[in-house]
Structure 1
């Protein structure tokens, strides 16, 4: 129960968490004072006294939220060439990424969103990390972009068309092995995924010739 005097109870008690109306004040109440009929509160690690009308209730979890440092590892970086699930043999370059941080009382998660540009026509797309397959890094990507064969050139050489067909087939294989690995967790499927990626990298090197 809060302190009481002359029939009026203090709104807060020692141990309550409060925040300032300007959101620059936050902390746990350590002392309660009555001065000339008004309630004042001292917060942990603060010298000032705050009037009751300067404060609002705050949840203890808010203290943790204010102190939280979120470390996020991005699997893909600027300039990486990737394949997007559901887009056939089309390849995209990473042009941006962001993290959407979600916090609720009983749950918390982060969504990583990548902004992409399709190599053949520059079409913009957003995709999550789970939808992407790494193909090449920025250095190899620069050489990729110099090849008109990747932009649906009607004069595309037969061997280039074969490379694109191989990419399509290998990406399908990769996604199949990935689903099997996620279902059964067997390392055999994970090894197959790595083998497919090596073949994709070989095709990337072929494009650079």
Structure 2
């Protein structure tokens, strides 16, 4: 599934997503743990930021100025309304380029929608976007390969290179693994925190 097609699917549920997650606790303990490894303030990148909400507010509370990317135009429109003080762009992380470097990068439940062939290139790209001492947190599925699931009366695509390959790429890129956890057992949902020490 091409990322642009995924964006159109999320466009259809953007308002529902915002209503469901704006005030939820989902992902909050994990992000707080990652922020504990980070210095206060600086620039943060949120890949797959959705409509914003709780996770943006946590980063903001730590003093970060946030840049959010999402493949859904409707999600970005909502994020701009919800957080006018931050920068949001309708972009595909597979194609997006920037010279900027970030002190903190979050990709919560977004990279697992990438085409399987783009998993390693995008992980290398975002590793390169970290400043020295920058911190990365992202989630992925520990089910190697690709599959689709039905959700909201639509078909959504997922892919993963698994725990070992994710950690291998991060270490090859010079990052230090600070924490790895399969946090939603029995679901195969994993999050990793790594730092560019």
TM range, smaller chain: under 0.3
Indicate the structure (1 or 2) with the bigger Cα radius of gyration.
Answer: 1
* Higher RCO structure (Cα 8 Å, ≥6 apart): 2
TM-score, structure 2 length as denominator?
0.22
TM-score, structure 1 length as denominator?
0.21
